[in-house]
Amino acid sequence: MNFKPANIPSNDALRVKAVRRTGVLDESKVELYDIYCFLAKEITGCPVSWTGVIDNEKQFVLARDGFPDEVPMEMPRDQTLCQFAIEKTEPLIINDMTIDYRFKNHPAVVDFGVKFYAAFPVTTSDGYTLGTLCVSDNRVRRLTKNKIKLLKGLASKLSYQLEVQVNQRKGTAESVINILNKLIRNFKNLQIIEAITILKFIINEQISRDDEELLMQFGIAHKKNDILELSSQGKNLKSELKLNIGTLKRIKNLSSDNKQLMNMLDQIKG
């Protein structure tokens, strides 16, 4: 008998939007999440732990411990164990997967001998399960009430961290949107990519020859001794934008990846 994937939760479209708001699909920093896997293994004694989020198509592993390096960090959603864990906000604990109707035919069980699996949902404050914090073993296990409590707390900490990242991301996007609105008021029909070029120049990021021409056309810059510098109009614009140190840092961090910035703006506006 073949493995049968989980049903799609009724709130999945909204849940996936919540996943995308975290930004981890665009840029995942494994070092931020390694500690959760390490602690999950320490608490349970299981040899394998991982944490990740699930969108409408894939599971994206944020960090893992105990996996061979050749195992990919992404997997089709309908092939994962964790697809069953995002249906609810309570832990999914399977002491013996070989006798569980949902998992006994899964390749992890049939081909790799996994028997024990526990998934602790990573859930937002408004009830959307973004993904899971998991442990597994090739032998049957049972978790004590205390270990379950500790792992639920650990997953809750991870949920909080992701929500903080959402708020920081939103704050950055709102700052940039405010700046873009000011630029658009100064320059009609300004494209986002052109606005990013202006901001790059203002914060002293390197720009191309074509970008230099664009800035001079806008009257923001002129050349003095073959060096491009802000014109009087450019200096007035910089003053109007009120770029404080915090905003400058946020823009500088984003300026190296135009696609990431535009994706973020689209998500915030959506």
The residues of the chain that CATH labels 3.30.450.40 are 12-166
Which amino acid does the sequence have at 11? Answer: N
CA distances from residue 27 to 38, 65, 184, 185 in whole angstroms, order as listed? 21, 20, 28, 31
| CATH class of the region 12-166 | alpha beta
Give the pLDDT confidence score for residue 166 in this predicted structure: 76
Give the pLDDT confidence score for residue 208 in this predicted structure: 86
Nearest residue to 251 via CA among 204, 199, 215: 199
**Local structure of 31: helix, strand or coil:** helix
CA distance 190 to 212: 16
From first to last of its 270 residues, what are the pLDDT tens digits of the chain?
Answer: 689 999 999 999 999 999 988 888 876 677 889 999 999 999 999 999 999 999 999 999 999 999 878 888 999 999 999 999 998 899 999 999 999 999 999 999 999 999 999 999 999 988 999 999 999 999 999 999 999 999 999 999 999 988 887 777 666 666 777 777 778 778 877 877 788 788 778 877 778 888 888 899 889 899 888 889 999 988 888 888 776 555 555 555 554 555 555 554 454 444
Give the pLDDT confidence score for residue 240 in this predicted structure: 80
Give the pLDDT confidence score for residue 249 in this predicted structure: 55
What is the greatest pairwise CA distance in the chain? Answer: 78
Which run of H or E residues covers position 107?
helix 107-110
Give the pLDDT confidence score for residue 205 in this predicted structure: 77
